[in-house]
Amino acid sequence: MAVAIVKAEGAGAEAVEYAARIDRVSKSFAGPAGQQLVLDDISLDVAPGEFVTLLGASGCGKSTLLNLVAGLDRPSSGEISTDGRPALMFQEHALFPWLTAGKNIELALKLRGVPRAERRGRAEELLELVRLKGSYGKRVHELSGGMRQRVAMARALAQDSRLLLMDEPFAALDAITRDVLHDELTRIWAETGLSVLFVTHNVREAVRLAQRVVLLASRPGRVAREWRVGIPQPRRIEDAPVAELSREITEVLRGEIRRHGQH
């Protein structure tokens, strides 16, 4: 299949049926033994306003797929379409330490073409959205890990994208901080109407956050199974329905890992 990546126009575009469409995408990398197939014939749509978590064991290609959707790499075959340019948030906050929290956000606004006179006000608004009002002038070393990730989230939101891609953004945080940021993310998602594609290897995190959980099998990565999460928000990671569905998904994930280990 020929490779094509199509980006919708963004602000003036007609309404679309998806925020991201992944159509029969495969990805190979060159290795010592030749081409290694990492992703194999993956098809997945993310609807406008939908929160999807992408789950799987380490090495199954989750981050590779996210990078393809972000446009940081190209698939070996298949097509990827997105409704405008996605915003991307990584596990590492990637803030510039010589800039304040506000100036880190303003940089994203500048790259987007926001006039200089409007940038500070907009940065202040975004900091308030992530509950960091008054932190505009703080430098990175003055912020806790959770606060840094909030600034990174505000910077991603500054890109004014319809689709937010998140690659294990809370994995390095302690359990309490991670739980607080789960609450903040679901609140911001509900307030903004963003579509979110969130990569994690934590089953409970996937169920805690998502409307839909997509499990990838390993080597090569393929869609193994999907679950619709009908548990009303707000959810807690320790809630019985979250724990029950997490156990079910974990058993399927273990089966995929065992199956891979036999090959």
Residue 132 near residue 86 (C-beta atoms within 8 A): no
Mean pLDDT along residues 68-86: 94
Residue 69 near residue 20 (C-beta atoms within 8 A): yes
Please report the pLDDT score of residue 153 as a whole number.
92
Q: Which of 107, 237, 245, 120 is nearest to 181 (CA)?
A: 237
206's enclosing H/E stretch is: helix 203-209
35's enclosing H/E stretch is: strand 34-46
The residue to which tokens 């690659």 are assigned: 167
Residue 143 near residue 125 (C-beta atoms within 8 A): no
Percent of the chain's residues with pLDDT above 90? 75
* Average pLDDT for the chain: 89
Positions of E strands within 155-235 = 163-167, 195-200, 212-217, 222-228
Distance in angstroms (rounded) separating the CA atoms of residues 196 and 20:
10
Mean pLDDT along residues 56-74: 91
pLDDT band at 219 (very low <50, low <70, confident <90, very high): confident
Q: Give the single-character DSSP code of 14.
A: P
Distance in angstroms (rounded) separating the CA atoms of residues 254 and 263:
15
Q: How many residues does the chain have?
A: 263
Q: Which of 80, 85, 69 is nearest to 2 (CA)?
A: 80
Please report the pLDDT score of residue 172 as a whole number.
86
Residue 84 near residue 8 (C-beta atoms within 8 A): yes
Q: Is residue 6's pLDDT more than 60?
A: no
Mean pLDDT along residues 211-233: 93
Extents of the domains making up the chain: 94-160
Residue pLDDT, tens place only, 34-46 = 788 999 999 999 9
First to last CA, the chain: 27
Residue pLDDT, tens place only, 105-138 = 999 999 989 999 999 999 999 999 999 999 999 9
